[in-house]
Amino acid sequence: MVRLLGKLMQIAGLIILPAGILLQLVFDDPHSNASGLERTGRDVFGFGVDGLLLAMIFGVCLFYLGRFVEGYAARQ
């Protein structure tokens, strides 16, 4: 049971960043930006590059925590 939890944490850690990128691309409105190069996404969905960075850090931490949990379960 604990090993399954560790695996699920690893999978969730791998899914978080691509899901955040997909949501940022889908919900971003380029017509609301002042320039065509600016893609913050804050006006529509509420997170831009800073949110993606936090999602990346959270995903990496969740993945490694899941790896530790799975390793702990394998020793038992």
Sign of CA dihedral 34, 45, 22, 68: positive
Query: What pLDDT is stored for residue 69 in this prediction?
Result: 95
Closest by CA position to 13, among listed 72, 65, 51? 65
Q: Bigger pLDDT: 71 or 41?
A: 71
Q: For residue 1, what are the contacts with CB-CB under 8 A and spacing of at least 6?
A: none
pLDDT tens for 20-51 read 888 877 776 666 655 454 555 555 555 677 77
Q: Is the pLDDT of residue 57 over 60?
A: yes
